[in-house]
Amino acid sequence: MNYNSRKKWDIVSSSLRCILSLDYRPLEIIIVDNGSTDGSFEMIKQLLSEVKLDADLNVRVIRLSRNYGFAIANIIAYKLRDPRSKFIALINNDMCPEKDSLRKLITYLEKLDERIAGVQGAILSWDASHVLTYGGFVTDHGTCGGMAAFMESSVLRKLKPIIATYIDGAYSVYRVDAIEKAGGLFMPYFFMWGDDYELGIRLWRSDFKLIAVPVIAGKHYAGAITTIKGDTIYEPPRMPYIYEYWSWVSNIAVTVVLYGYPHQLQILKRLVTAFIAAMLKKSKAILRGFIDGIRLGMALRKRVLKKRPWLRVPREPRLKSHLMQELAFLAHLYLRHGYRASRIYYILIARALGRRYN
């Protein structure tokens, strides 16, 4: 096993041990091995054999024949859950939850109105120095981000419950009834990304709400399995073509075309940002992802909105933004910081939102 593989396994094994240590009972844990070829499945089985499990903890491991992506893997686990389950939690393999976090999050849900479909807590960076997300937002022209991202963890003592457009797929808890009424967990059309914010918008448009609550959820090594991290929080991961491609496909298909209002105007607005980003980053993946995102989004509009016409009506909270001001500021950042500009811009927005809500 080379250095990168060993580092990834250290992260995954730490996450699994944290998940197995959750103190909520009774608890069913379904681990999905998404077609790994590096010995991960065997190491997971070995780890489980070393951990003492109590009678109220049921652990199942599912091995898929190939990598079907995040959404399908979660859909499979969701369908295989205990039918008596009232809540489900989604936890990434690079997320170390706090031992009491699931119990606290479910306690929140139990006390809240049943129209609150799901909650997330404050997800911290791997070294716990910064907040990564405290609920997710979507802007009125379709970009997505995490509120309070990269604010110092000292902000935690000031956090209050806030409304979120969506909750982070890295660690979130939902009511099963709400998911069923909204049409199911995820759509199977996205290999990566697109899943949590699509579900969030769909829940809002099905007359539910999502909130972030002041619970320390745990630590997330964001991008540990898919990217090589930069040296600082301002240094973005060096995305391989496939990851940058899917980030654009999923975002454009969901927030711009499928749920954009009106979607024709949203496409025109994002065309400008896609073209500028592709030119500045010299990325063919962005343009290809933008085009394929429109194609996928149009196909989904015909399929989804015909079956559930009420999803056409916008109900989700969106962050109002001024496109020309955004473009001018983003261009300034690119001239000054190069390819790091989009990362810096995202951090500045997220921090501004964090200051507004704490």
Q: What's residue 77's pLDDT?
A: 95
Q: What span, in angstroms and rounded, lies between the C-alpha atoms of 197 and 203?
A: 10
One-letter amino acid identity for 95? M
pLDDT at 353 over 70: no
pLDDT band at 230 (very low <50, low <70, confident <90, very high): very low
Q: Which pTM was predicted? A: 0.86
Rounded mean pLDDT, 316-331: 69
Ranges of each domain in the chain: 86-358
- Burial environment of residue 314 by CB neighbours within 10 A (0 to 12, 13 to 18, 19 or more): middle
- Burial environment of residue 260 by CB neighbours within 10 A (0 to 12, 13 to 18, 19 or more): buried
Rounded mean pLDDT, 256-285: 86
Q: What's residue 342's pLDDT?
A: 58
- Which residue is listed with tokens 């049409």? 183
pLDDT at 7 over 80: no
**Mean pLDDT estimate for the chain:** 85
Least confident of 58-67, 87-96, 243-252, 329-338: 329-338
The CA radius of gyration of the chain, in Å to the nearest whole number, is 20
Higher pLDDT pick, 346 / 69? 69
Q: Report the half-sphere exposure of 116 (CA within 13 A, side-chain side).
A: 21
Cis bond upstream, residue 240 (ω within 30): no
Q: Is the dihedral of CA 159, 108, 183, 94 positive or negative?
A: positive
Decide: helix, strand or coil at residue 185. Answer: coil
**What ranges in the chain are assigned the alpha helix state H?**
3-20, 40-50, 70-79, 101-111, 176-181, 195-205, 241-251, 263-281, 284-300, 306-307, 323-337, 341-357
pLDDT in tens, 124-160: 989 888 888 899 988 887 888 887 777 777 777 888 8
- Burial environment of residue 67 by CB neighbours within 10 A (0 to 12, 13 to 18, 19 or more): middle
Rounded mean pLDDT, 282-295: 92
DSSP state, residue 172: E
